[in-house]
Chains A and B, each alone.
Chain A
Amino acid sequence: MICGRSVFLAGLIDPMDIQVETAPRAAKQAQTRRPPTRQHARSLASAALDVAAEGVIVCDDALRVWLCNAAAFRFLGLEEPLQLRARPALSQVLAASPCLDETGRRTVLAHCAEAVANGDRAGGEIELPADSRAGTGLALRLRRVAPRRWALMFSAARATAASDPLAHDPLTGLANQRRFEAALTDRLAMAGPGGQQDWPGLLLIDVEGHGSLTEASGRAAGDALLRLVGQRLRAALRESDLPARLDDGIFAALVPAAAGVETLARRLVERLARPYVVQGQVAHVQASVGLAVAPRDGHEAGQLLHSADLARRQAKAEGAGIYRSFNVLMREQAEARRSLEADLRKALVLGQFELFYQPQFNVATRRVLACEALLRWRHPIRGLVAPGDFISVTEEIGLINAIGEWVLRTACQEAMDWPGSIGVAVNVSPLQLADPDRLLRAVAGALAASGLRPERLEIEITESALFGQEAATLDCLRTLQARGVQISLDDFGTGYSSLSRLRSFRFDRIKIDRSFVKDITEDAHARGLVRAIAALGTGLALATVAEGVETDEQARQVEYEGCTDLQGYLISRPLPASEVRAVLLRLNERALLAGAAD
């Protein structure tokens, strides 16, 4: 080690070597200019210097920087090589470091200046504590290594918990998960009835937004933003509080006494949401904060962290940029959700799903022309569960495609039993449409396996399914239509009903949402809207289905306004597969009789 360094430094003070930016460049230049033996020694020394764990900056008497190795860049948090050819002032190099605060920088400069002025051979050592925002806590040594040449060496500060590399997060210099949990455990052990201390409070801070900066401007920018978030967190806390970074965008704070922790949470949400300027551009993050307080929300570390985490998720779910305190309901909801997920994962294989069918009545022919397939989940304990209570969960846990495929297969199969050419309408989730190839395969597979003619199958999509990958989605729908499958637009009028959508794709049918039909007899506005949508259908030569028709009066009214089809309890409730055939026969027979009587 001594030998290696002396070889390197002997080369270092050679004026020929001074046109360097970083050690590897020095090695390269040396190779082209030096006789083999010295060249070899020098390139070895340079290479060794750049892999050294200790940061080294070499300055002259005027504190101008001649050399800076890779570790020094790392310790200072500098992202790009400085132009060392110009020999920048040490003060400038330190000022460029986002890891050093003003105090830290002044301490280093004053120390160096003094040592140089005194001409000390051993320049002595200083330590910068982590809590002066000097990054991770730095130990510095200054040594004169040749006449008028000084080496400033950096390493992580020793002997304090803050500087234990296993205990701190290298990016922000805050405590890491391990140290934070240890501190929380200690604190909880000291509190309580027999304990000497107050019960602590815990904040989990979920920061979102650095990801988009990383995507737009690179890892270094995203990291710099997280470092600023860490600094603001530290600045917003009291000395006795412990800030930490537990995971990518998850920060935490341990507050020794839980009183006032809500005020702190409110302050954090506000401070962290203020704009940041990172590498010459403005950036924003949102912070969602979850609060848990001992002993109410947990006596031991794991439980308290879990409570705070549930509160954090709640805050995030409610729209980010807010804080939420833990309550028992959250644990119950989390437990309920977990068991729902577990049950849903088993439902398909256990055959717990079934389809009900609701007939749609055609005004012109007075007959049922199609039925809409409606998914039900029959669970031994939960009973019959409506889709509204579980579909969104299947979407979130990635089950929707498998369930959707089952629905398509089953609906096509069961429709084969129906009389005449009565069609079947199947609802397709936006997530299924987001994977067009898989959906096309599923439809083709269901038709082939059942032998159902494509004209008898109708795919119902909601307006929201058309958001996002519009071109791919529309292509998929056009392909289906070209194969003969009917495409209808569900719940028309409730979402972002856009006429340009009706232009960009020729739907076969639009379904008028039940909320308009429900009020049609009393509410002139609802009536006007139904009339307008029906007229739209007439103009574009597509069918309009009024959903949720429950009374004769409503039926008369929607017919009068020009709807071509009716669906609702007045025609029939949703029927189990086993009853559909009989009901369809009866309905169409009755229609024929009624027609004959006219």
Chain B
Amino acid sequence: MLTSLHRIIYVSRSLLRGDEDQVAVELRRILAVSRRNNASEGVTGALLLGQGSFAQVLEGPMVAVERAFERIQDDPRHADLVVVEVGAVDARAFPDWSMAFAGAAAASAAPRVRAVLDQVGTAPRATAAESVLGLLDALIRRETEWAMAR
């Protein structure tokens, strides 16, 4: 139980301020810390910043995932966090990433990001969870393809 695979998906409002460069610097900082922490604890996942919101997936042993979530909850750089899904899962959706990031892809897919974020407040929990997961999966894939194309 304590070490079985769990997943948390949440959405929150970004409080990152400043121009694109400043936000990018801050994001790099967030990702570096997150990746360092996650790697040592067996946590993987994905993070999206788009439309002024964060969406994040955290996967790993229950205690480690909950600990990662608590670290994130102490962070003043976001607010109004909604937990979209929490619970045991059979397999990781992002096994290869200590924390994959979708930024540029999210910007290019703004309408879809907006639609999924809107769903979080309105759709049933399971549907919303599936949408967020699907969105992150698609965007991360695209981001990776771009990176490889370059």
Stretch at the interface among A31-39, A92-100, A356-364, A570-578: A92-100
Q: How many of chain B's residues have a CB under 8 angstroms from any CB in A? A: 28
**CB distance B73 to A270 under 8 Å?**
no
Q: B residues within 8 A CB of A79?
A: 2
Within 8 Å of chain B (Cβ to Cβ): is A228? yes
Nearest A-chain residue to B65, judged by Cβ: A277
Stretch at the interface among A141-149, A195-203, A251-259, A279-287: A279-287
Nearest A-chain residue to B42, judged by Cβ: A95
Q: A residues within 8 A CB of B122?
A: none
Complex: A95 Cα to B70 Cα, angstroms? 14
Which of B6, B62, B82, B88 is A275 in contact with, Cβ under 8 Å?
Answer: B82
Can you sample 28 A-B contacts with CB below 8 Å?
Answer: A78-B2, A79-B2, A80-B2, A88-B3, A92-B3, A95-B63, A96-B2, A96-B3, A96-B61, A97-B63, A98-B66, A102-B40, A232-B70, A232-B74, A235-B74, A275-B10, A277-B8, A277-B69, A277-B70, A277-B83, A278-B66, A279-B1, A279-B62, A279-B66, A280-B88, A281-B87, A282-B83, A282-B86
Q: A residues within 8 A CB of B1?
A: 80, 279
Which of B3, B42, B66, B82 is A277 in contact with, Cβ under 8 Å?
Answer: B66
Complex: A96 Cα to B79 Cα, angstroms? 28
Min CB–CB distance B57 → chain A (angstroms): 13
Q: B residues within 8 A CB of A232?
A: 70, 73-74
Q: A95-B3, A95-B61 are in contact. List 15 more A-B contacts (CB 8 A).
A: A79-B2, A88-B3, A92-B3, A95-B63, A96-B63, A98-B66, A231-B70, A232-B73, A232-B74, A235-B74, A271-B73, A275-B81, A275-B82, A278-B66, A280-B87
Complex: A324 Cα to B87 Cα, angstroms? 37
**CB distance B3 to A280 under 8 Å?**
no
Min CB–CB distance A132 → chain B (angstroms): 14
Nearest B-chain residue to A270, judged by Cβ: B79
**CB distance B81 to A274 under 8 Å?**
yes
Within 8 Å of chain B (Cβ to Cβ): is A406? no
Complex: A106 Cα to B40 Cα, angstroms? 9
**CB distance B64 to A95 under 8 Å?**
yes
Within 8 Å of chain B (Cβ to Cβ): is A276? yes
**CB distance B86 to A277 under 8 Å?**
yes
Within 8 Å of chain A (Cβ to Cβ): is B67? yes
Q: B residues within 8 A CB of A92?
A: 3, 61
User: Which residues of B49-95 are within 8 A (CB) of A?
Assistant: 61-67, 69-70, 73-74, 79, 81-83, 86-88
Q: Contact residues of B with A, CB < 8 Å?
A: 1-3, 6, 8, 10, 37, 40-42, 61-67, 69-70, 73-74, 79, 81-83, 86-88
Within 8 Å of chain B (Cβ to Cβ): is A474? no
**CB distance A280 to B81 under 8 Å?**
no
User: Which residues of A61-82 are within 8 A (CB) of B?
Assistant: 78-80, 82
Complex: A277 Cα to B67 Cα, angstroms? 9
Q: Contact residues of A with B, CB < 8 Å?
A: 78-80, 82, 88, 92, 95-98, 102, 106, 228, 231-232, 235-236, 270-271, 274-282
Complex: A279 Cα to B88 Cα, angstroms? 10
Min CB–CB distance B43 → chain A (angstroms): 10
Q: A residues within 8 A CB of B40?
A: 102, 106
Min CB–CB distance B74 → chain A (angstroms): 4
Min CB–CB distance B81 → chain A (angstroms): 6
Chain B binding surface, main DSSP class: mixed
Q: A residues within 8 A CB of B81?
A: 274-275
Given contacts A80-B2, A82-B2, A96-B3, contact A271 B87 (CB under 8 A): no
Complex: A102 Cα to B64 Cα, angstroms? 10
Which of B6, B10, B82 is A280 in contact with, Cβ under 8 Å?
Answer: B6
Nearest A-chain residue to B8, judged by Cβ: A277
Complex: A228 Cα to B67 Cα, angstroms? 9
**CB distance B83 to A275 under 8 Å?**
yes
Complex: A231 Cα to B67 Cα, angstroms? 11
Complex: A95 Cα to B81 Cα, angstroms? 25
The winner among A97, A102, A231, A282 for most chain B CB atoms within 10 A is: A282
Complex: A282 Cα to B73 Cα, angstroms? 13
Give the 10 A-B residue pairs with the shortest CB-CB distance, closest first.
A96-B2, A235-B74, A282-B83, A96-B63, A274-B73, A275-B83, A277-B69, A277-B66, A277-B86, A282-B86
Q: B residues within 8 A CB of A98?
A: 63, 66-67
Min CB–CB distance A110 → chain B (angstroms): 12
Min CB–CB distance A228 → chain B (angstroms): 6
Min CB–CB distance B37 → chain A (angstroms): 7
Nearest A-chain residue to B7, judged by Cβ: A280
Complex: A520 Cα to B88 Cα, angstroms? 62
Q: A residues within 8 A CB of B2?
A: 78-80, 82, 96
Min CB–CB distance B78 → chain A (angstroms): 10
Q: A residues within 8 A CB of B42?
A: 95
Complex: A328 Cα to B61 Cα, angstroms? 51
Min CB–CB distance A481 → chain B (angstroms): 45
Min CB–CB distance B72 → chain A (angstroms): 9
The winner among A88, A96, A232, A277 for most chain B CB atoms within 10 A is: A277
Min CB–CB distance B146 → chain A (angstroms): 33
Min CB–CB distance A80 → chain B (angstroms): 6
Min CB–CB distance A210 → chain B (angstroms): 15
Complex: A97 Cα to B62 Cα, angstroms? 11
Complex: A549 Cα to B74 Cα, angstroms? 60
Q: A residues within 8 A CB of B73?
A: 232, 271, 274-276
Nearest A-chain residue to B70, judged by Cβ: A228
Min CB–CB distance B129 → chain A (angstroms): 12
Q: A residues within 8 A CB of B70?
A: 228, 231-232, 276-277
Nearest A-chain residue to B60, judged by Cβ: A95
Min CB–CB distance A15 → chain B (angstroms): 25
Min CB–CB distance A237 → chain B (angstroms): 11
Q: B residues within 8 A CB of A282?
A: 83, 86
Q: A residues within 8 A CB of B65?
A: 277
Min CB–CB distance B99 → chain A (angstroms): 16
Nearest B-chain residue to A77, judged by Cβ: B63
Q: A residues within 8 A CB of B10?
A: 275
Nearest B-chain residue to A236, judged by Cβ: B74
Min CB–CB distance B79 → chain A (angstroms): 7
Nearest B-chain residue to A78, judged by Cβ: B2
Q: B residues within 8 A CB of A278?
A: 66
Complex: A279 Cα to B69 Cα, angstroms? 12
Q: B residues within 8 A CB of A235?
A: 74
Nearest B-chain residue to A88, judged by Cβ: B3
Min CB–CB distance B91 → chain A (angstroms): 17
Q: A residues within 8 A CB of B82?
A: 275
Which of A80, A88, A271 is B74 in contact with, Cβ under 8 Å?
Answer: A271
